[in-house]
Structure 1
């Protein structure tokens, strides 16, 4: 383990807080040739899993169907920490990050999809939280669940 991972670990509570407030994350899937495919996504951390939604077809869905192993990352940069003597090599960053390895799958259960989509509405458009989600929209939206196999968080201040 890196030195900074030993001395600058986020607590479980801090990890959950960062996952709850971060607006975007990066999802890494594997292309059929084994190369990585990384995309920014909106997500919600709910019931100890990461959930994302989107169109039911596309590269992300194809990749998950072929290989369910994924990586996920959120990162919040606060500011640069400049060296008082002006040495550019001693510039650092105040940040928090969470790195996740997991197994992704498409959610088929309509009740679970609806529940997740309501959580996404609550996070991103809270003013619409009491709006009804049309059943055809729920059915036609792909919901991806990422079950966490490994999770780490670190910070630097």
Structure 2
């Protein structure tokens, strides 16, 4: 483990808080040529897993079907620490970040997909909580589940 990780680790409670309050995370898969492919996605942290939704076809879905090993990252930047510095190279950032390594799959169970999609509604459009999601929407939406293998959080202040 890097020195900075040992000294500046987030607690489990801080990691949990960041995963619940973050609006956007970065989801990384490996493409067919072996290169990382990273996209920003809305997500919900639920049942100790990461869930995202989107179209049932596309590069991220193709990539995870080919290779389930993925990475997910969230962060929050509070600002740059520039007081009393004379060299731009001495500028540091105040932030929190979480990196998750895991295995991704597409949910097939329609009842569980509905539950996860309702959690996404609750997070992003709380004014629509309680409105029934149409069955065709549930069936036509891909829901990605990331089973967490490793999760690390760090900060700098």
The TM-score normalised by the length of structure 2 is: 0.98
For 2:80 and 2:126, the matched residues in 1 are separated by 32
Q: How many residues align?
A: 157
Deviations 1:49-100 (A, max 9, x none): 0000000000000001000000010010000000413321110000000000
Does residue 106 (structure 1) correspond to residue 106 (structure 2)? The answer is yes
Bigger Cα displacement from structure 2, 86-95 vs 61-70: 86-95
For 2:3 and 2:79, the matched residues in 1 are separated by 22
For 2:85 and 2:130, the matched residues in 1 are separated by 55
Residue correspondence of structure 1 range 20-39 to structure 2 within 5 A: 20-39=20-39
| 2:26/2:40 contact within 8 Å kept | yes
Does residue 70 (structure 1) correspond to residue 88 (structure 2)? The answer is no
The TM-score normalised by the length of structure 1 is: 0.98
Structure 1 residue aligned with 2:40? 40
For 2:57 and 2:81, the matched residues in 1 are separated by 43
| Structure 2: gaps of 5 or more residues | none
Alignment partner of 1:10: what SS? coil
Bigger Cα displacement from structure 2, 79-88 vs 59-68: 79-88
